[in-house]
Structure 1
Amino acid sequence: MFTSPDSLNQFLHYASTTTIPAILNQRQQLLQQLPVTFRRAAVLMPFDWNHGATQIWLNQRSKQLRQHSGQIAFPGGKLEDNEKSITAAFRESAEEAGLIRNQWHLAGTLPPCYLPSGFKVVPVLAWSNAHLQWQPNHTEVSKIFAIPLSIVLDSSQYQQSIMRFQQHQLPVYHLHYQHWHIWGATACMLLHVAQCYESWYQQ
């Protein structure tokens, strides 16, 4: 799939410079039109190249949390005053998962992902080929695990359902891997990258 860290970096840079895939346009446009003042947030999408075994890391949120407890997500959170998305994504990842900043290379960002909960989330793309040792903050994260990119970048792996939201039909995406059920904004971000991979691969 990727023969070197450089080829993974090239793809992630490509993904960061392309427009929102058509399959996600309807959802994005619908949410942007809601009478909501969206709060700014950012997440880190951490890609890992380890001797050709490419994967992406995700968190399972602690069941102690009041919001989205137990769900699968990327590390991240709300931006502090005057904070940039990239800074926030790495800061939150260090706090939640023990990420070591100098092990990671920034590849770019995806367009903001709008959430029904009122957040405008910027996904930050980064990759590493270091020996990673995660240290989850168990008040926020119950588990950190990886999914092979061969699964994530295959658009046929994703399923769609419809959620009724404020008189609208909102598409909701799902990805299953082993016993993990990834859905909502996290699945949208992964599907975005999968769609980018299809267009990049066909070049």
Structure 2
Amino acid sequence: MELTRELAAARLAAWERRSIDDAALRPAAVALTVSPDPDGRYGIWVLRRPSTLRTHANQFALPGGRLDAGEDAAQAALRELHEEIGIALAPESVIGLLDDYPTRSGYAITPVVCWAEVATVPQPSPDEVDEVYFVGVDELTAEPAFDTIEQSPRPVIRLPIMGTWVHAPTAAVIYQFAEVVVQGRGTRVDHLEQPPFAWK
């Protein structure tokens, strides 16, 4: 079945979202922006961070970051989407939220699902983005791998997309998007672990 805005919004509206209320975690948001490419194929934008960053250098990510004072998750996700890859969307583009995901680096990430009606060419900020990838919706449903590590009893998720492995937290968020929004499954991901290199 083809993914449409109406179907995606309906699945998100029916989803009983889990939020995190933990004062020890800083609130953050990421944008999962469904957009057509020039050929009409739908997908989302995934970034790779520059090697010059103090934290999370060279890691794959979704556009996003910490909430500024007075912002909610949707506002922060749209702001970061514009600042990081030059895509400006109206508040009406937000069609729902997925579960908050707690990170080892001290954040509670709220994934904000947006819908872009027309194809737009990203204009990445070189200070925050090394490369932007457009990942088709079909590719996002690839079967993840679950590893074990000595540091945690929880399974570590990695997702085979873009010809490489993407790790949590990004892999966990994309996996839930693929399960809930694309395939209509009730899959939770807050129990999934991140690899030790992402803990800092």
TM bucket normalised to smaller: 0.7 to 0.9
* TM-score, normalised by the number of residues in structure 2: 0.80
Matched-pair contact (CA < 8 Å) for 1:15–1:193: no
Unaligned 5+ runs, structure 1 = none
Unmatched 5+ residue regions in structure 2?
A: 186-200
Contact 2:36 / 2:119 at 8 angstroms: preserved in 1?
Answer: no
1:182 aligns with 2:166: yes
Q: Take 1:12 and 1:181, find their aligned partners in 2: how far apart are those partners?
A: 28
**Matched positions, count:** 183
Residue 158 of structure 1 is matched in structure 2 by 144
**Does the Cα contact within 8 Å between 1:43 and 1:76 map onto a contact in 2?**
yes
1:8 aligns with 2:5: yes
Query: 2:27 and 2:13 mapped to 1: Cα distance?
Result: 19
Higher helix share: 1
Moved over 6 A (4+): none
**Structure 1 residue matching 2:184: 3-state secondary structure:** helix
Q: What's the CA shift string for 1:115-164, capped at 9, x where partnerless?
A: 1111001000011131302111111100111111112134xx21111234
Residues 18 and 133 (structure 1), Cα distance of their counterparts in 2 relative to 1, 3 Å cut: same
State yes or no: 1:91 paired with 2:76.
no
In structure 2, the CA distance between the partners of 1:104 and 1:19, relative to structure 1 (3 Å rule), is closer
CA–CA separation in structure 2 for the residues paired with 1:130 and 1:186:
25
TM-score (norm 1): 0.79
CA pair 9-183 structure 1, distance change in 2 beyond 3 A:
farther
**1:139-154 equivalent positions in 2, closer than 5 A:** 139-154=127-142
3-state SS of 2:79 partner: helix
Q: Displacement, 1:181? A: 2.2
Report whether the alignment pairs 1:198 with 2:186: no
Residue 49 of structure 1: aligned partner: 36
Question: Per-residue deviation at 1:172?
Answer: 1.6
CA apart distance, 1:53? 1.1
* Structure 1 CA distance for aligned equivalents of residues 54 and 40 of structure 2: 38
Q: Give the Cα separation in 2 of the matches to 1:139 and 1:199.
A: 36
Q: Are 2:35 and 1:39 equivalent residues in the alignment?
A: no
Give aligned-pair identity as a percent. Answer: 24
